[in-house]
Chain A
């Protein structure tokens, strides 16, 4: 089907299959349609149908509650065309520049699944062909029998990879979480869309990263640290990582974080912030390159970053309240301009 996207000043056409979402069809065709979460929760991709028939797709997607479907409002990440159509979108549509041109739809097979602790599983998906992605990007995963796509940031970093690594935190009642934690997933197929997202590490910017992550939000940050270490980025840049968990037993990837610190010392500092218990010491007992502190991760970051905010680029990921607190620190204390605040808006 032919889709036309109009903005105040421009018009873009692209083809779209019957079951393909408008967003992915557009992105595949090189049209940089606006989006953030790509999974129906943030509303950033909303548009209005002015001609033709478009199905809303997953009508219960949370962001639909903010819109007026009766007036033709759709979420481009969910909606699929029934006929040729014309869509009106916000002014942020452009043609892709500096983005990796490749197909956005993949199938993969789960090849490993390992518990990192009681509540966190790391799993790997083998792709049918290599994917190029930037550290900090995510994909959406879809499994037969579970409604809705879920977004996960890649933990690994190779510029081109046939395997993608993810972490997932146990979530009571979560369909995907129940599937990963409760069933045998090795060999199961997943549908993948991506790579997506612009909350990425861009070494050419020459900024000093400050990372604030809670729980499984550390995923994309590991990818960035792997890229940075590969480049020896901290030879002439500073880096500060604040990783928030409830208690020491909930932490994971500490061995690897310690390795990044050892490689980059003294320019890279990693602090594990415990919100629910006092740390046993100032440094992790097994991995002394990692500092320990007590408090919510954004408060710990605020305390430790006083006077160190110059030329920073901030990365934030984790549960919504934590993201909110961290953004406030980056804005009010860090005075970071918006372009240097990177976060994905999927909860």
Chain B
């Protein structure tokens, strides 16, 4: 696992959701004001691209497709949300944002038996 530089912190304004590619791995970087998060670019519900359908305000990311929402500061699911966002660990160093990326995080969509039957998860 290696820290990979994503971009300059100053290039992501507050409440921005920016899609980046880090050596072929797509992810979204979010500036929620009190910090940053990095996560896969699609909604864990039905793969809606969050760079288009996501809106970030007051630390809460909402996907407008079905209004699933997550508090990015507290890492909490809100309302009717049934699946959590999965984050890449991030850090800021010398004005740059880094993410700890090994393999691409991919959400399982109601079916892979590896994790047991996650239909109810």
Contacts and interface: CB of A to CB of B under 8 A. Distances in A.
Interface of A: 7-8, 36, 42-44, 46, 48, 66-68, 71, 73, 88, 90-92, 323-324, 327-328, 331-332, 335, 338, 341, 345
B58 A335 contact: yes
A324 B79 CA distance: 19
Given A66-B109, A68-B110, A71-B111, A44 B55 contact: no
Nearest to B109: A66
- Choose among B47, B55, B64, B79 the residue with the greatest number of A CB atoms under 10 Å from its CB: B64
Given A48-B119, A88-B119, A328 B110 contact: no
B69 A90 contact: no
B117 to A, nearest CB: 9
A338 B47 contact: no
Given A91-B120, A327-B67, 16 more contacts: A7-B120, A36-B66, A46-B110, A48-B119, A68-B111, A71-B111, A88-B119, A88-B120, A90-B120, A91-B82, A92-B80, A324-B53, A331-B62, A338-B67, A338-B78, A338-B80
A240 to B, nearest CB: 20
B119 A327 contact: no
Contacts of A323: 64
B64 A327 contact: yes
B111 A90 contact: no
Q: Main secondary structure on chain B at its contact with chain A?
A: loop
Nearest to A326: B64
Task: Place the interface of chain B in its size category.
Answer: 20 to 34
B46 A43 contact: yes
B75 interface: no
A205 B120 CA distance: 32
Nearest to A90: B82
Contacts, number: 54
Interface of B: 15, 46-47, 52-53, 55-58, 62, 64-67, 69, 78-80, 82, 109-111, 119-120
A272 to B, nearest CB: 24
Contacts of B55: 327-328, 331-332
Contacts of B82: 90-91
A205 B58 CA distance: 26
Nearest to A47: B119
A67 B15 CA distance: 32
Nearest to B62: A331
Contacts of B56: 332
A43 B57 CA distance: 26
A324 B69 CA distance: 15
A198 to B, nearest CB: 12
Given A71-B111, A331-B57, A324 B64 contact: yes
B66 A345 contact: yes
B57 A67 contact: no
A37 B55 CA distance: 23
